[in-house]
Structure 1
């Protein structure tokens, strides 16, 4: 039987009320005690008053009698020693001492073994004069069970997510992908670049090479170096995967250096796409230990065959463009210059 049912059935045949008892005893029923009373009775909570001088209950609602499996009014005259285990009684006593010392309302949670079952209660206590404490009991056993089930479910979901992430990382290791960014590594990039140069040469078309570098962290975030860099690399990997086509190739080619091959794309289009990517990255806020950091990038864009027609020259031109972007303060897209007299 739950608290509200037990208390409602008990109070129906119980003579008098807590209000009557307070008046008979000459105890104050205003202030916090009156407020607690006005809230407790409509909610069907269990109510009790204990004498601090004797440690015995001088008033108890019928629901509390039923809770402790006592007959009508039998809880009155009993103490916690008669009702609870030693550790449970000591916990009750500590809270009561805090109530009288602070002279204010104190809410605490208790777990009691009743009828061979562990049950959870929230107990609100308020001092009545200098010798009595009034308490309101509300059972939370089912709520605690639900919270426990939810917590276990969340833990299982978290474990499953970690297992899936581990599988993803293991799969990426086998496929030549970087663990942190999820992008292909330098070996795959070099092969793809050679294929793109060969294909573009045979079909007389152009493509763009973009090198991307993470800008240094702001001074106020330097103490977060390792964790912040990890989060930045993960974030940049997500952005590159989301903003490149299937025919493009996005790779991590260095500690903080990334490369993107834009197949069939000219210099102007490549610049426009990278500028759009740069703005999207700046708007991505990465929170590290409560600090908001933006994803700031320096980009260098080179074009085949207009900037260069050989692999080393193309990479060198894009690297020089990145250095120029960094020299200007970072968070910029810089185009590599087209040499005078290059083919149209």
Structure 2
């Protein structure tokens, strides 16, 4: 119901046409991960093996109003604004064209099964309810019309059985460094239950990105190669190896950057290592960020080209250079030479 209210206000702006068109079904996103999150928070479902294969529609579970309110405030605070936002959108719509009657028909509804990405419309909506920054509107729009494929930077998918999903939302790009950096970030569990972990404010180990460069130097204590989020070097909250083949998730006790909470069911205190089956990277900075990135890339290409060029004139006359004399001596050390001064 809350998503339909959000959809009714957003659909006309993203489509530019009539809302609630006749004959066009309202595609309801899959929000089972949100329902499970509320049930787990209230203790109606155990946060362990019981979440796998859970059928929300036939479960017959429920939570009290107090428990549900507590879950909303801690996990998806934006859910409480859906009604007020809907009313505001209705007023704006009537002010633009008072004679036009707009209504939302949900008689022809169906669940959307067309999501082709890990970041489904239902998960995008969940994130939009949890974050309080400029990206909230971006994720809300994605929950209505789906993710824009132009924003997909990288994708890797492998079909498998039981899987759990985690995600990271940062405001900084990947930079090859040997220390943690970043200004702000969020960790989230996306499947089978939803959970958003905000920054704690105690430390700033937002993200870590370190890979080998072409110019290798000696390191007495080599730093880990890969991507990491939270924790510290050697005890990262989330660590992805350089081949993007394995991920290690550690207990929140080792991390002071992000809030407490488990990212996977039955996580426990020991590090959990798993193979990466699906991987997606989305760039949601918009056209302004894209232009800045293109300018930076163009500048780097120019610098790289300049480093590859060798100005022979700067070395003077090769025939008179000491380098040529040494090369000739190495090629034939017994050859008699006369040095002209």
TM range (shorter): under 0.3
Higher relative contact order (CA 8 A, sep 6+): 2
By percentage of residues, which structure has more strand? 1
By percentage of residues, which structure has more helix? 1
TM-score (ref. length: structure 1): 0.22
TM-score (ref. length: structure 2): 0.22
- Kindly name which structure, 1 or 2, has the bigger radius of gyration based on alpha carbons: 1
